[in-house]
Structure 1
Amino acid sequence: MSSHGLDLVFRPDLPALIARWQREVTPQELQAGYQAVLAAADAAQCGRWLLDLRRREDVIEPAVNAWFGTTFAPGLRGRYAAPVRLAFLISPLRARQSVVATVSAADTDCRIATFTDEASAHAWLARADA
């Protein structure tokens, strides 16, 4: 499925929902994209998400990050049988620049990690203790 500059694929073999932003998006499109991720995750009852941000330049958008941290992520608490696992995949350049905002896992009941390598992100998502 593709909308909001986002491709969504559920991989039951992993199991994980993979969300890849394909272009720059407006803050409104980004919020709508996260809602689309949530709807797809609910349909699959999948709390393991790989969020691929490598094609986006605007990884940090203050208004969206505030919304994500105070509204969206806390709303994930108790939604699935286990806490949601969010693996953010970013480019090595972004990782060196430390431009990805952090969301408190304590506030959200989510497991959150950032990766520059997709295989490592999938391995972390698959871990029972992740």
Structure 2
Amino acid sequence: MSTLGLEITPRPDLPALVARWQREITAAELQAGYFAILAAADEMNCWRWLLDLRREELASPALTAWMNNDFFPKLPRRYAAPVRIAFLASPLRAKQEQSDSSVASISAHPRPDQGYFTALFTDEAAAYQWLAR
């Protein structure tokens, strides 16, 4: 995954899948990364994901539209339980990103009826606790 600037690590002890972007990336790399995460989750049959965005901008209007229209619709009924996505952001980015086109906004509206829950965290331990529910 290094070509995408992404490291995907299975954590069967949690159980969860942890994806960390290692550098600033393009929108195309981010989209490809999300599909790589989906493929890894399918392989593990894992519906708990921690996405570490501390090195990445949280979202843009185009990315938010892509997530809502193309990515999230692929999640319903994919696994035995709704997907739980914990977005991990730096405190500064989490504070700055409060627009309608941010991960903070996406995370503010859980969509269990659409097959997934999302939440934004600045603390990794809290994210793992939420994923374990």
TM-score, normalising length from structure 2?
0.88
Aligned to 2:123: 117
SS in 2 for 1:55: coil
Matching of residues 30-69 of structure 1 within 5 Å: 30-56=30-56, 58-69=57-68
Instruction: Tell me the matched-pair count.
Output: 126
AA of the residue aligned to 1:120: A
| Per-residue Cα deviation, 1:44-102 (whole angstroms, up to 9, x for no partner) | 0000000000011x222222221111110121011000000000000000122234333
Looking at structure 2, the residues matched to 2 and 15 of structure 1 have their Cα atoms a distance apart, in angstroms, of 23
AA of the residue aligned to 1:23: R
Is the Cα contact below 8 Å between 2:58 and 2:97 reproduced in 1?
no
Looking at structure 2, the residues matched to 33 and 108 of structure 1 have their Cα atoms a distance apart, in angstroms, of 21
Is the Cα contact below 8 Å between 1:21 and 1:52 reproduced in 2?
yes
AA of the residue aligned to 1:83: P
Aligned to 1:6: 6
Looking at structure 2, the residues matched to 6 and 53 of structure 1 have their Cα atoms a distance apart, in angstroms, of 10
Aligned Cα root-mean-square deviation (Å): 1.5
Percent identity (aligned): 59
Is the Cα contact below 8 Å between 2:89 and 2:122 reproduced in 1?
yes
